[in-house]
Amino acid sequence: MQTLLEEGTLWVPRVIGVVVIFVGFFILAKIIKRIITKAAERLKFDENLTSLLSRTSSITILIFGFVTALGTLGINVSAIVAGLGLTGFALGFALKDTISNLLSGVLILLYRPFEVGHRIKISGYEGIVISIDLRYTELDSEGNKVLIPNSKLFKDPVTILKQG
């Protein structure tokens, strides 16, 4: 019974440390998310872009906090970090087209080469821009809705025919 009590006294401070570390990172993630949202409002960024940046930063901070907390427990985190790296590489390779559209969408929303209401022409499609999101840009082409992947808009030449 004595050894169980000794083991408990060794683990209780570690568990308390883990909880404190994870709560600290959780609070930090909320603060960073709020800072990004406020800064994006002042800079008049697109809502989709702001949401993506704030969620990505929050999740990254929480993952870093989780790995730090596991290290505090005495778990070898180098294998976990290597596994996360390999998983990220595999997901990046599998989702390269989706990621390409997403990053192109971020750049389009950031640089704003055209906006909602502009008439544009790209690769045989012509129409008025109805909406721009992170994956597609929606055109109204003679009453038809056309979804153009943002990576195509970023790679191919776009002609802006009329600015709303």
Q: Where are the domains of the chain?
A: 2-94, 114-162
- Cα dihedral 161, 149, 105, 97 in deg (nearest 10): -150
2-94 classified as CATH 1.10.287.1260 = yes
Query: 116-145 pLDDT, tens per residue?
Result: 899 999 988 899 999 988 889 999 988 899
Residue 149 above 90 pLDDT?
yes
Q: What are phi and psi of 155, to 5 degrees?
A: -90, -45
Q: Identify the CATH class of 114-162.
A: mainly beta
* pTM passes above 0.95: no
Q: Quick one: pLDDT at residue 140?
A: 92
Q: Tell me the pLDDT of the chain averaged across its residues.
A: 87
Nearest to 164 by CA among 114, 122, 125: 114
pLDDT tens digits for range 45-94: 888 788 888 998 999 999 999 989 888 888 888 888 888 888 888 988 89
